[in-house]
Amino acid sequence: MRRIRMILVLALVGFVGLLGYAYYTGRGWALPETGGVDTQAAAERGRLLAEKAVEKTSLAVSDGALTAKIKSKMALDDYVKARNIDVDTVRGVVTVGGTVYSEAEQRRAVQLAKETQGVTQVIDRLEVWIRQRTTHTLPKPAIG
């Protein structure tokens, strides 16, 4: 047991010494360059990908902000019941959907969306719910 411990300690000391030597001489264990990678082209490609990612992220944030702004306007409006209306935004194009209880409420909801800064188009998918009056008649009892 003592001999195994001594061998392990010597191996560890040798390994640490080798790491120290590689560190101080600056050689390390780096592989020699093969010249197969164009670093300038890779850097340019990375820059373009980063710009696209930033653009997509800012579009997503601005679309979310537009949706929140429109829903807030509807919630504060006296004529629109915002809980019944769905608002989705994709690249500035707003789609409003759901159920409203009058054509006036439908027009007002679309108007609020159109008036919001940053909106390029509004797609109206609102349905006007019309309450129909029905008279229920009870069936005549069978005589028998």
- 84-122 pLDDT, tens digit per residue, is 899 999 988 999 999 999 999 999 999 999 998 888 999
Tokens of 66: 């537009």
Q: Please give the CATH number for the structural domain made up of 56-131.
A: 3.30.1340.30
What average pLDDT does this structure show over 33-56?
A: 76
Structural domain spans, the chain: 56-131
Report the percentage of the chain scoring pLDDT > 90. Answer: 32
Residues 83 and 110: beta-carbon distance below 8 Å? no
pLDDT of residue 27: 67
> Are the C-beta atoms of residues 118 and 62 closer than 8 Å to each other?
yes
How far is residue 107 CA from its own chain's centroid?
29
Could you report the per-residue pLDDT of 55-65, keeping only the tens digit for each?
776 666 688 88
**Nearest residue to 45 via CA among 55, 53, 56:** 53
